[in-house]
Amino acid sequence: MAFESLSDRLSKAIRNISGQGKLTEKNMNDMLKEVRMSLLEADVNYDVVKKFVADVKEKALGQEVMESLNPSQMVVKIVHDEIQTLLGEEDAQIHFKKQGMTTIMMVGLQGTGKTTASAKIAKYCNEKLKKRVLLVACDVVRPAAIEQLQTLGKEINVEVFSLGPEVNAVETARKALDYAKDRQKDLVIFDTAGRLHIDEALMQELSDMKSFVQPDEILLTVDAMTGQDIVTVAKDFNEQLAITGLVVTKLDGDARGGGLLSVRSITQVPVLFVSNGEKVDDLEAFHPDRMADRILGMGDVMTLVEQAQERLDMDVQEKTARRMQEGIFTFNDMLDQFGQVKKMGSIQNMMKMVPGLNKLARNMDTDVVDNEMKRSEAIIQSMTPYERDHPEVLKASRKNRIAKGSGVKVADVNKLIKQLEQMQSMTRMMSSGRMPNMSALQNM
Ligand code: GDP
C-alpha cells in the first residue's frame, strides 16, 4: 500500500509531540525536522516541502496555539490540515451540465491505467450517480485498447461505441456524439490514445480531439508509482490541454506518495479519483481529509463505512446481528461472515482503514490469512446442515469424516471448533451486556 513509510514516520513524529503535554521550541523543531525528512524521503517536491514546513511552523507558533489547552494536540491538527491543503481543500467532483450531455475526455500516458479508469468512472457514474453513460473507444493506436474497453463495458454493463481501429479518433468521436444524443445519454466518456512518452504527435491528436469535442472535463490519469514524474507529466498535459482533474492510479502499489502530495499544489489541478487495484470497483472518489487521516495513520472509518454499505449484503448482516444479540453464533453464521469479508476485498484492507490497526494489517501475511479462511470454509462445507447448526454433535467419527472431506487434519477441525466456541462465548457475553475479554479476541 502506498504511503507506508511516510505514514509510519509522520505518525511517529506526531505521536511523539502529542505525548508531551508541553510544547517547547525544541520539541517542535524536532518534530518539524522529522516531518521535513519524511516528506523528502517520500519524494515530495522540495519546494512543496519547504513551504509546508514553513506554514506549519508559522501556524504552530501563533498565539492561539500557545494559549490553547493542549498545544501539542493543536500542532497535530495543524499538520493534518496542512496535508489536507496539499491534497486539495475540498472534495472535487465531475461538473455535470445542468441540462444535456456531459462529456469527459480521458487522457494519459500508456500504461497509466487510462482505459481501466474510463471504465471504472463509467461504472461509478452509472451506478452511484444514475447517469446513462456511453464509453467511446478513441484509442485507435494501442492495438488491444478497443477490445479491452469492450470487454470492460460488458463487465460493467455500459455500452461501448467503436468504429474499429481504421477510423481516426476525431471521426469516431463525431459519430459517437450523434449516437449518444440520439439515445439521450447523460455522459459520454472518451478513452483516447496514449504514448509511452509525451510527444508532439500525441498532443496534436489530443488537441484536435479537444477542439472538436469541447469536453466538459479533461481527466488525466497518472501512475502513483512514477513518483515525481506525475508532476512533470501533469504540468505538460496541463499546459497543452488545460486539464480539469486528475485520476491517480495504482495507489495499491508501494508508491512513496510524493507525486500525489506534490501535484495538486504545483499544478492547481484537483485530484478527482484514486484507483487502488485492477478490478472495476477499485476506484474511490478522492477526499483530501480522509487521505490526510490515512497518511497520518489515523485510519479512514468513513470510507470503510461507505464501502460496507455498498458492498455488504445488509440482510445477512442484520440476521447475524440479531442472532448474536440472542447469543447465537453457529458455523452457518461463520460461513456467512466469510462471504461478507470476501465482498469487502480482504480483512487486511478493512483493517487498514481502522485507526490503530493499520500497522497490524500491514504485518499480516495476506496469503496465510486467505488460506486459513479457505480451509475453514472447506471444513464447514464438509459438515451436514445439522452439524453446522449443532456443533456439539461433532465427535471423533464425524470429525474424521469432515477432515477427510475437506482434505485437512482432524487437528484443523478441532481448531475451528475451538474458534467457534470462543466466538459463541463472546456472543453470549455481549448478549448479556458484558464486554468480552480482549485476550480472547487476540487469540482469534
Ligand atoms: P492505459 O494504457 O493507460 O489505457 O492502461 P490500462 O488501463 O490498460 O492499464 C494498464 C495496466 O495497469 C493494466 O494491467 C491494468 O489492469 C493496470 N492497472 C490500472 N489501474 C490500476 C490500479 O489502480 N492498480 C493496479 N495494481 N493496477 C492497475
Annotated binding-site residue? 111:
yes
- pLDDT score at 428: 81
d(CA 290, CA 296) in angstroms, rounded, equals 10
C-alpha cell at 300: 479512514
Give the neighbor-by-neighbor strand order of the sheet with 271-275.
159-161, 133-137, 187-191, 102-108, 217-223, 245-249, 271-275, 283-285
Nearest to 174 by CA among 199, 211, 123, 141: 211
Q: pTM of this prediction?
A: 0.74
- pLDDT score at 439: 41
CATH number at residue 436: 1.10.260.30
Alpha helices (H) along 268-311: 288-295, 301-311
Higher-pLDDT residue of 25 and 178 is 178
Within a domain: 97: no
In a shared domain, residues 189 and 327:
no
Ligand 1, closest atom to CA 110?
2
CA of 111 to the centre of ligand 1 (A): 6
Q: Is 299 in the pocket of ligand 1 (CB under 6 A)?
A: no
- Return the residue whose CA atom lies nearest to atom 27 of ligand 1: 278
CA of 112 to the centre of ligand 1 (A): 6
Give the domain extent around 327: 306-442
CA of 113 to the centre of ligand 1 (A): 4
In a shared domain, residues 40 and 135:
no
User: Is the Cβ–Cβ distance between 56 and 255 less than 8 Å?
Assistant: no
Longest alpha-carbon distance in the chain: 76
Within a domain: 94: no
> Is residue 443 over pLDDT 50?
no
> Is residue 442 over pLDDT 50?
no
- pLDDT score at 441: 41
In a shared domain, residues 148 and 264:
yes
In a shared domain, residues 9 and 154:
no
Least confident segment among 26-35, 36-45, 299-308:
299-308
* pLDDT cut 70: percent of the chain above it: 89
In a shared domain, residues 370 and 433:
yes
Q: For the chain, what is the domain count?
A: 3
d(CA 327, CA 417) in angstroms, rounded, equals 17
In a shared domain, residues 184 and 313:
no
Higher-pLDDT residue of 366 and 284 is 284
Q: Is 115 in the pocket of ligand 1 (CB under 6 A)?
A: yes
In a shared domain, residues 112 and 240:
yes
Annotated binding-site residue? 249:
yes
Q: Of 58, 87, 116, which marks where a domain is finished?
A: 87
Rg (C-alpha) for the chain, rounded Å, is 26
CATH number at residue 110: 3.40.50.300
Least confident segment among 8-12, 119-123, 345-349, 434-438:
434-438
d(CA 414, CA 157) in angstroms, rounded, equals 45
Within a domain: 92: no
Cα dihedral 55, 57, 59, 62, rounded to 10, equals -150
In a shared domain, residues 175 and 72:
no
Within a domain: 281: yes
Within a domain: 95: no
Nearest to 222 by CA among 200, 241, 245: 245
> Is residue 301 over pLDDT 90?
no
Within a domain: 56: yes
**Cβ atoms < 10 Å from Cβ of 155:** 12
> Is residue 104 over pLDDT 50?
yes
> Is residue 195 over pLDDT 90?
no
DSSP-assigned letters across all residues of 31-94? HHHHHHHHHHHTT--HHHHHHHHHHHHHHHTSHHHHTSS-HHHHHHHHHHHHHHHHH-SS----
CATH number at residue 39: 1.20.120.140
Q: How confident is the model at residue 68 (pLDDT cuts 50, 70, 90)?
A: low
Within a domain: 120: yes
In a shared domain, residues 293 and 312:
no
In a shared domain, residues 326 and 287:
no
Nearest to 190 by CA among 131, 106, 88: 106
Q: Of 87, 118, 144, which marks where a domain is finished?
A: 87
- Return the residue whose CA atom lies nearest to atom 20 of ligand 1: 113
- pLDDT score at 422: 87
Q: Is 195 in the pocket of ligand 1 (CB under 6 A)?
A: no
Q: Of 62, 87, 112, which marks where a domain is finished?
A: 87
User: Is the Cβ–Cβ distance between 217 and 95 less than 8 Å?
Assistant: yes
Within a domain: 93: no
d(CA 284, CA 128) in angstroms, rounded, equals 12
Q: How confident is the model at residue 300 (pLDDT cuts 50, 70, 90)?
A: low
In a shared domain, residues 107 and 195:
yes
- pLDDT score at 80: 87
What is the rounded average pLDDT of the residues 91-106? 93
Least confident segment among 39-43, 197-201, 212-216:
197-201
Q: Is 194 in the pocket of ligand 1 (CB under 6 A)?
A: yes
In a shared domain, residues 226 and 322:
no
